Homo-oligomer: A and B are copies of this chain.
Amino acid sequence: MPPADPMPSPPAAPQPLRRTALHEQVATRLRDMIVHGALRPGERVSEATLCEQLDISRTPLREALKTLAAEGLVELRPNRGAVITPLRQPETLELFETIAGMERIAAEHAAERLSLAELRKLEKLHDRMEACHNAGDLKPYFACNQEIHRLIVAGAHNKVLQSTHGFLHTRMSRARYFALFVPQRWSESVAEHRRIMDALRARDGARAGAELGAHVWRTGQIIAQAVDGLDSVAS
């Protein structure tokens, strides 16, 4: 029995009294470490080191790694240990292209399916995002931006699409984390978001989809460019 949980306690679950399995907590922790660079692209995963850091036995760690491998965050190599998935430009482009496609589909559906409450929430977030842009507050801007994307995908009211998007989103977050912030893209992005909101407001699915897809794809191209040649562990 391991000592007190070395990881942040999970929030109270909607299903009361169900504690989160350790292997899931480990997976969550590792996801964060991968996205935010504590585990670098291409880095060899040392079970022994990680177990020591996290004060757990190898079993939940190994199980967590299987989960993360299925999500594409880790690459398993039989008998040679796992590595953190390298950040490769071609794959980053493909990732953003795929996500752009999915967000486009989501936006098309969302335009028809968003409830009034959801649409109002989006409007509020969008206004807040514009305010952050005007005030030059990047961090809250980015948080609003991400939340808008998430709400649009959720607005499609398709859980399979949402969860599939969620997997890819983790990988996208990592790429964004490693890419440099590009200031000129900021104003473009805000303008594009305006057009997306216009289309959603008008319940114009085709336009919403096209605008959102293009927006994500443009962002992706810039991120992929920034990722190219980044310092990652040789793979």
Contact = CB atoms under 8 A, between A and B. Distances in A.
Interface of A: 18-21, 23-24, 59, 62-64, 66-67, 69-72, 76, 78-79, 91, 94-95, 97-98, 101-102, 104-105, 109, 158-161, 163-164, 167-168
A58 B8 CA distance: 29
A168 B158 contact: no
Q: How many copies does the complex hold?
A: 2
Contacts of A105: 98, 101-102, 104-105
Given A62-B63, A66-B23, A66-B63, A97 B158 contact: yes
Contacts of A159: 91, 94
Contact of A67 (B70, B72, B98, B158): B70
B78 A21 contact: yes
Contact of A101 (B70, B97, B161, B167): B161
Contacts of A168: 160, 164
Given A94-B158, A94-B161, A104-B105, 11 more contacts: A18-B78, A19-B78, A66-B66, A67-B67, A72-B163, A95-B160, A98-B158, A101-B102, A102-B102, A102-B105, A105-B105
Given A66-B63, A71-B70, A105-B104, A98 B160 contact: yes
A13 B75 CA distance: 17
B97 A161 contact: yes
29 contacts: A18-B78, A20-B78, A21-B78, A21-B79, A59-B59, A62-B63, A63-B63, A63-B66, A64-B66, A66-B66, A70-B70, A70-B71, A72-B160, A72-B163, A94-B158, A94-B159, A94-B160, A94-B161, A97-B160, A98-B105, A98-B160, A98-B161, A98-B164, A101-B101, A101-B105, A104-B105, A105-B105, A160-B168, A164-B167
